[in-house]
């Protein structure tokens, strides 16, 4: 009991110090359950998320449960990056780990930026960094003191419990037209169970729960089955879910769930409502790096063509 009490005190001190050091980069999502989220970013806007849950045994006898998510890194790159976190844990058993892990990710992002050629970095590029530096095999972690192999028991995306870790939620900028307001939300997902988690978590916010519609679509690539797992929900806005899913397909956005909330303002918008739903979703997908360079080019070309058409009409 004394050890657990000491862990609680150390966790509280660590979180207080981390908040002061990293500011908006690090958020305590759930103070009671000790859920912490770090959002690291490159200068060009590419974002890497690390979410950690501190168990009662941390830091004396257990590491944080963690979730790495990033739209522009491959599964192997994420695995390799996770291995680098494991190595840090094996070298610092019993020590506070969050600061060390966050610094490792910050160093990774800095090295990634330094290896990008000037002018070639993008929100959607994967970056040509030296992957070998982070490409470590599980056999490297054979230290007898390391009884817990994190990647053997904790997936990069979910823990050993039946319920996967809650994905990191991101919210877009609201758009208002004739008193109706639209706002997109998204989260990285690799399991269909996480989709329902995301929707349920969003609806814990009263404003979102009371929206007139929460239109949803998700698209997950199953490497095992070689197919996309995908579905949508209109939530009362007829055909909106199918249009949102079609947008994900056209943009080739994968491993993501998007929800667009609409608060009806009393004035019918007609077809414009579908345009606003898709624009909110597309803008957030772009900001979060879910658009490949090819699909971004297509959307830019489409916008330019529409703008040219309007000028011609005038």
The predicted pLDDT at position 297 comes to 46
The predicted pLDDT at position 237 comes to 93
The predicted pLDDT at position 217 comes to 95
Comparing C-alpha atoms, which of 200, 198, 174, 160 is closest to residue 265?
174
Comparing C-alpha atoms, which of 6, 120, 146 is closest to residue 63?
146
The predicted pLDDT at position 259 comes to 96
Comparing C-alpha atoms, which of 68, 39, 72 is closest to residue 291?
72
The predicted pLDDT at position 68 comes to 79
The predicted pLDDT at position 31 comes to 67
- Give the CA-trace dihedral at 3, 4, 8, 10, to 10 degrees: 20
The predicted pLDDT at position 96 comes to 87
Q: In this structure, how many other beta carbons lie within 10 angstroms of the beta carbon of residue 6? A: 12
The predicted pLDDT at position 135 comes to 36
190-215 burial, b if ≥16 CB within 10 A, otherwise e?
A: bbeebbebbbeebeeeeebeebebbb
Angle between helices 75-91 and 98-115 (to 10 degrees): 140
For 241, the enclosing helix (H) or strand (E) is helix 240-251
**Residues in the chain with pLDDT values less than 50:** 117-163, 293-294, 296-306, 308-314
Q: In this structure, how many other beta carbons lie within 10 angstroms of the beta carbon of residue 39? A: 17
206 and 283 Cβ atoms separated by less than 8 Å: no
**Structure confidence by residue, pLDDT tens digits, 41-65:** 777 777 888 888 888 888 888 888 8
Tokens of 145: 């003191």
């Amino acid at each position: 009991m004394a050890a657990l009490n000491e862990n609680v005190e150390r966790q509280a001190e660590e979180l207080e110090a981390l908040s002061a050091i990293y500011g908006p980069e690090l958020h305590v999502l759930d103070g009671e359950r000790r859920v912490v989220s770090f959002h690291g970013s490159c200068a060009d806007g590419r974002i890497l998320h690390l979410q950690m849950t501190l168990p009662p045994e941390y830091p004396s006898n257990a590491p944080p449960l963690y979730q790495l998510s990033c739209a522009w890194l491959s599964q192997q790159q994420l695995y390799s990056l996770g291995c680098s976190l494991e190595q840090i844990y094996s070298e610092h058993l019993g020590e506070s780990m969050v600061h060390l892990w966050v610094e490792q990710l910050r160093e990774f992002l800095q090295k990634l930026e330094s290896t990008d050629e000037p002018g070639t970095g993008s929100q959607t590029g994967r970056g040509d960094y030296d992957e070998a530096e982070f490409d470590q095999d599980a056999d490297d972690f054979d230290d007898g003191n390391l009884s817990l192999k994190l990647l053997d028991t904790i997936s990069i995306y979910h823990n050993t419990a039946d319920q996967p870790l809650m994905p990191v939620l991101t919210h877009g900028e609201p758009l208002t037209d004739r008193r109706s307001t639209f706002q997109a939300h998204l989260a990285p997902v690799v399991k269909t169970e996480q989709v329902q988690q995301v929707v349920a978590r969003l609806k814990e916010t009263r404003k979102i729960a009371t929206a007139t519609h929460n239109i949803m679509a998700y698209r997950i690539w199953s490497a095992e089955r070689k197919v996309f797992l995908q579905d949508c929900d209109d939530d009362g806005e007829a055909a909106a879910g199918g249009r949102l899913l079609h947008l994900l397909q056209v943009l080739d956005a994968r491993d993501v769930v998007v929800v667009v909330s609409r608060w009806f303002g009393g004035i019918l918008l007609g077809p414009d409502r579908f345009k606003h739903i898709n624009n909110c979703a597309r803008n957030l997908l772009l900001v979060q790096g879910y658009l490949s360079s090819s699909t971004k080019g297509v959307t830019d070309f489409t916008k330019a063509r529409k703008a040219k058409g309007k000028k011609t009409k005038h």
